[in-house]
Amino acid sequence: MTRPTPSSAKLRPGFPVRLDARNPTATPARPAMASRPLPLSGRKETVVHGVGLDSNAVRQSMVTKLAQQGLTDAAVLQAMGRIERHRFVDTALVNQAYEDTSLPIGLGQTISKPGVVCRMLGLLRQGSPDRLGRVLEIGTGCGYQAALLSLLCQEVYSIERLRGLHDKARNNLRPLRLANVHLLFGDGMPGYAKGAPYAGIIAAAGGEAVPTAWIDQLAVGGRLVAPVSAGAVSAGKQVLLVIDKTPQGIRQTVMEGVFFVPLKSGIA
């Protein structure tokens, strides 16, 4: 399936970006970071004393366990073996960073368990042998999934509605110098039309339904992965929903049950 790629002729905002709450289409701020990325393999690691979490073996052990669960997308597993999850969680929780569990990141939000992240990224890629084009992430959180997406996509736009988490993600990602990641502070419900069309859209919060704006901003040939309410099937539960935008129309596929924080509008 042919994937859309970013247009070199269209000016893209730098990193980070702030959306004006009164005018979400306002011109983004100028880049606040160096534009040239430093290869992950060449970065000097800061040792977290006493826990050995900087060891590549620790990450590979997590990757092995994910593969044993049947999560087999090689590109996603490789990315998860490179991005250090413990750098995105609070210091008091670093010893649990590579366990397959969600962890609190403040403001009532969580970093999703590695198994769920791996599954959703695999669904988003739908077996593509190449990097995806431009992707929109709804709910930056602490920035972990945005870092993974930076290795899997040509360009990443990530929106966070909570100022505290937007700032946390910015601080977490700054040392990685990921020039293809654009952080936006604003309401994710309307998506981000200035970056559309997107080869993929992925959400880290679940609502009653997928906002129409997201589907409108998805490119033909693109895929959207988001948790949604199971509705009448199972009250109070959520399922993963995959939406493919084809030349013939929209195709929806309901996947397994999940649990995500609720999707909300507005900023705070």
66: CB partners within 8 A, 6+ apart: 77, 80, 100, 114, 115, 118
Crossing angle of helices 56-68/74-82, nearest 10°? 150
Q: Which residue of the set 7, 41, 112, 234 is catalytic? A: 112
The answer to whether 117 touches 76, Cβ cutoff 8 Å, is: no
Cα gap 89→143, rounded to integer Å: 10
112 is catalytic: yes
Helical H runs in the chain? 56-68, 74-82, 114-125, 144-152, 163-173, 212-217
How far is the CA of 69 from the CAs of 197, 232, 259, in angstroms? 33, 29, 18
User: Smallest Cα–Cα separation from 224: which of 186, 187, 251, 258?
Assistant: 251
Q: What HEC string does 49-95 produce? A: CCCCCCCHHHHHHHHHHHHHCCCCCHHHHHHHHHCCHHHHCCHHHHH
> CA 80, 124, 163 angle in degrees (round to 5)?
70
| Per-residue b or e along 83-110, where b marks 16 or more CB atoms closer than 10 Å to that residue's CB | bbbbbbbeeeebeebbeeebbebeeebb
Catalytic residues: 112
